[in-house]
Amino acid sequence: MINNKKISVIIPAYNEMNYIGETLENLKLDWLDELIVVNDGSTDKSRDIIKKFQVKLLDLADNHGKGRAVTEGILCSSGDIIVTVDADLGDSVVEIKKLIDPLINDDYEAAVGIMPVTGGGLGIVRKLADWGLKGITGKTMLAALSGQRAYRREILDYILPLENGFAMEMGINIDLIKNSIKFIEVECSFKHRVSRQDLTGYRHRIRQFADISRFLWRLKREKYVYKNKIRRA
């Protein structure tokens, strides 16, 4: 708890056996009130590793995708501030404090972590996301695809339910901007695995590109139908 605000952290995990243990080990923080891990149908030993830690474990029988996993975690959370992070951050996960501080000490309602540039990947997915966000909202972000985020509980109605797959962050970005939710992008020293320049890495980027492309095409076709009431600024 920080300044009488209960803190919940949610981690979606799918086949993260090589990373999830180190991440959870570094989340043994005095001020963290609730740690929820959503095992999204993992077929490796992720679940066995997660069960070694004192966390609230949610098991999804099948792999539903990141958006569904995070949504389930949020619905089971009780914190005043909800933090979502990737499972592969390792010891850098402690940087989440930088996302929480603006929500407690300043008047921000959400925070998005800016990841260091690693040189991994091809950049085409990021360019697609930037182009789509600009076209739909007229705004740009430095970290449109960052999964490291924090929210005040009272704004959750404006972003739930989340888009599934790798379109999750894009959907949240649009909801934040369209609902005039006050958010800040924060530079953090998060580090996570880099998408490899091999078949596995290319498949990952293709999935990202496909999910975001389908999402943007649907928004264009439907002229963006808001899934929740719109908050007036």
In a domain, 218, yes or no: yes
In a domain, 231, yes or no: no
Listing DSSP states for 101-158 in one string gives HHHHHSS-SEEEEEPPP---S-SHHHHHHHHHHHHHHS---S-TT---EEEEGGGGGG
| Cα 177 to Cα 104: distance, rounded to the nearest angstrom | 21
The per-residue b/e assignment along 187-215, b for 16 or more CB within 10 angstroms, e otherwise, is: ebebbbeebeeeeebeeebeebbebbeeb
Q: In what order do the strands lie in the sheet with 7-13?
A: 56-60, 34-40, 7-13, 81-84, 149-152, 110-114, 183-187
In a domain, 232, yes or no: no
| Cα 206 to Cα 42: distance, rounded to the nearest angstrom | 21
In a domain, 228, yes or no: no
In a domain, 233, yes or no: no
Based on its alpha-carbon atoms, the radius of gyration of the chain, rounded to whole angstroms, reads: 17
Residue-level pLDDT at 194: 56
Residues 6+ apart with CB under 8 A from 135: 216
In a domain, 213, yes or no: yes
How many CB atoms lie under 10 A from the CB of residue 186? 22
User: How many domains, in total, are found in the chain?
Assistant: 1
- What residues does 10 pair with on adjacent strands? 36, 84
**Contact, 129 vs 205, CB < 8 A?**
no
Domain carrying residue 108: 7-222
In a domain, 152, yes or no: yes
Q: What are phi and psi of 84, to 5 degrees?
A: -115, 130
Mean pLDDT, consecutive 10-residue stretches, the chain (233 aa), reads: 97 96 97 98 97 97 94 97 97 97 95 80 83 93 95 95 91 95 96 60 82 90 58 51
In a domain, 217, yes or no: yes
How many CB atoms lie under 10 A from the CB of residue 138? 8
**Contact, 64 vs 40, CB < 8 A?**
yes
- CATH of residue 136: 3.90.550.10
